[in-house]
Structures are given as structure tokens and as C-alpha cells.
């Protein structure tokens, strides 16, 4: 395959936001896992809502508001200091084990690799730097640059413009089905990283071009 632009979603694809349950365990005990999942679900939902309403705020606002929602639903109380600690730990999420070798393989094939995130570029760079991934990437592209959120078609077109790429020569790589569907709708190629065997892709008339469970498997697929 000729050189392609490979754009990686960040949260859930390169790093695991549910890792936050480890820190929550110390604060809320056996409610940690449920709170972590609800926090993540609401974080994404709030970005969707703001996108539809045209009331853009940086992703950190969605993240903190989602945390406060999850706290209220589960009837737990976290101090301002504890919330600040959790937000700081969001910048310390670990990369999945397959990420570094997978990106290294894709780079060795000559592909142009970028992170493409709902998070502001500075925050994403800090996160990926801490996770040992940033140095492998050619660039970081953020929806914050146009104040829109995935899966708005405008953000995928922004990705193409920023990278100087054509839709047919570009791939969106994500573990989030809605992100894959958004990219396909905008005309890009897309691969779904099925991080869990229990994960189900939405039964729409939009399907991924590739389904893999690791980035190493993706590199192998794209080398054919």
C-alpha cells in the first residue's frame, strides 16, 4: 500500500480513560468502576450535545461537568482538591500495550501518523508525551482549532486540510464506533479498533473498512 495519512483517535484508542477507576478506588471504593464508566459516557455525550447546540467549550469543561454528573448520580462527594487531582491524572493515562509497536510499524511502512482528538492540542500533547507516544507522531490535530466536535463532518474535513491529505488516502483509526462512522460519512477510510470482545459496532448502514483488535494488527492489514 502507498503512503497514507493515519489519524488516531486518542481517548479509548491510544490511552484508556477507564484507567481512572484506579484513582477513584481510593476515593469512592466499590463505586469506582461504575463511576469511571458513567464519567466517560457523559464526557462523550456532553461533547455531542455541545456540538449539536453550537455551544462549544474545550473538552476539559465536558470532562469536569461529566465528573460532577456522575458524582451526583452515584451520591458520592469529592472535594475540589480531589476533583483537581483526578483532572490532573487524566493527563497521565497510560498507552495501551500495542500502541507504541503498532505506530512504529506504521511509520516504518512510510505512513504519516497524527493524533486527532476532541481534546485541545496542548493537553493532548502533554498526555501523549507522558504516555511515550508523542515522539512517534508527525502532528497533533485538534477539533479545538475549529471549535467543533466529532462526529461533525467539518472536523474530518479540517483533518484533511491540516494534513494536506485527500479523503481516499486517509484513515481514521478509533475504538469509538461513532468516530469511525463520522469519518466514513465524511468520505475517509476508517478502521475500528475493537478493544473489547464484548464491544459491538452500531448496526447502521455505515461500516468500518477494517476491524482489528490491536494497532499491530492494523499495520499488518495495511501492509497487504
Amino acid 51: pLDDT: 96
- Under CATH, what is the fold of the domain 5-15+93-222? Rossmann fold (3.40.50)
The whole-angstrom separation of Cα 135 and Cα 43 is 27
- pLDDT band with cut points at 50, 70 and 90 for residue 1: low
Residue 200 C-alpha cell reads as 459491538
The whole-angstrom separation of Cα 212 and Cα 113 is 18
Q: What is the rounded average pLDDT of the residues 10-20? A: 95
Strands, sheet with 139-142, edge to edge from the N-terminal-most edge strand: 139-142, 112-117, 5-8, 170-174, 189-193, 210-212
CATH 1.10.150.240 residue spans of the chain: 17-92
CA dihedral 14, 17, 18, 19 (to 10 degrees): 80
Helix, strand and coil content of the chain, in percent to the nearest 5, comes to: 55, 15, 30
Report CA torsion sign: 91, 80, 60, 218.
Answer: positive
Bond prior to 151 in cis (omega within 30° of 0): yes
Q: What is the CATH number of domain 17-92?
A: 1.10.150.240
The whole-angstrom separation of Cα 137 and Cα 131 is 12
**9 belongs to the catalytic site:** yes
CB 74 within 8 A of CB 187: no
| Percent of the chain residues topping a pLDDT of 70 | 100
Q: What is the rounded average pLDDT of the residues 43-61? A: 97
What is the overall mean pLDDT for the chain?
96
Residue 92 C-alpha cell reads as 497521565
Out of 9, 98, 152, 179, which one is annotated catalytic? Answer: 9
CATH 3.40.50.1000 residue spans of the chain: 5-15+93-222
Give pLDDT tens digits for 115-148: 999 999 999 999 999 999 999 999 999 999 999 9
Cell 476491524: give the residue: 211
Secondary structure (3-state) at 6: strand
Give the predicted TM-score (pTM) of the model: 0.96
Amino acid 106: pLDDT: 97
Amino acid at each position: 500500500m502507498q503512503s497514507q495519512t493515519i489519524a488516531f483517535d486518542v481517548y479509548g484508542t491510544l490511552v484508556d480513560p477507564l484507567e481512572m477507576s484506579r484513582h477513584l478506588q481510593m476515593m469512592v471504593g466499590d463505586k469506582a468502576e461504575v463511576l469511571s464508566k458513567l464519567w466517560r459516557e457523559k464526557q462523550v455525550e456532553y461533547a455531542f450535545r455541545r456540538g449539536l447546540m453550537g455551544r462549544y467549550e474545550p473538552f476539559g469543561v465536558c470532562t469536569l461537568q461529566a465528573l460532577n454528573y456522575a458524582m451526583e448520580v452515584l451520591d458520592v462527594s469529592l472535594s475540589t482538591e480531589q476533583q483537581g487531582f483526578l483532572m490532573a491524572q487524566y493527563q497521565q493515562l497510560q498507552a495501551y500495550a500495542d500502541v507504541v509497536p503498532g505506530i512504529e510499524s506504521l511509520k516504518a511502512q512510510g505512513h504519516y501518523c497524527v493524533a486527532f482528538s476532541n481534546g485541545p492540542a496542548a493537553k493532548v500533547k502533554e498526555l501523549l508525551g507522558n504516555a511515550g507516544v508523542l515522539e512517534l507522531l508527525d502532528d497533533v490535530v485538534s477539533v479545538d482549532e475549529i471549535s467543533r466536535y466529532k462526529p461533525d463532518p467539518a472536523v474530518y474535513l479540517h483533518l484533511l486540510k491540516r494534513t494536506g491529505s485527500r479523503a481516499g488516502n486517509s484513515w481514521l483509526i478509533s475504538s469509538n464506533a461513532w468516530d469511525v462512522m463520522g469519518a466514513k460519512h465524511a468520505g475517509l477510510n476508517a478502521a475500528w479498533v475493537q478493544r473489547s470482545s464484548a464491544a459491538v459496532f452500531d448496526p447502521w448502514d455505515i461500516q468500518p473498512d477494517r476491524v482489528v483488535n490491536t494497532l499491530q494488527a492494523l499495520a499488518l492489514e495495511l501492509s497487504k
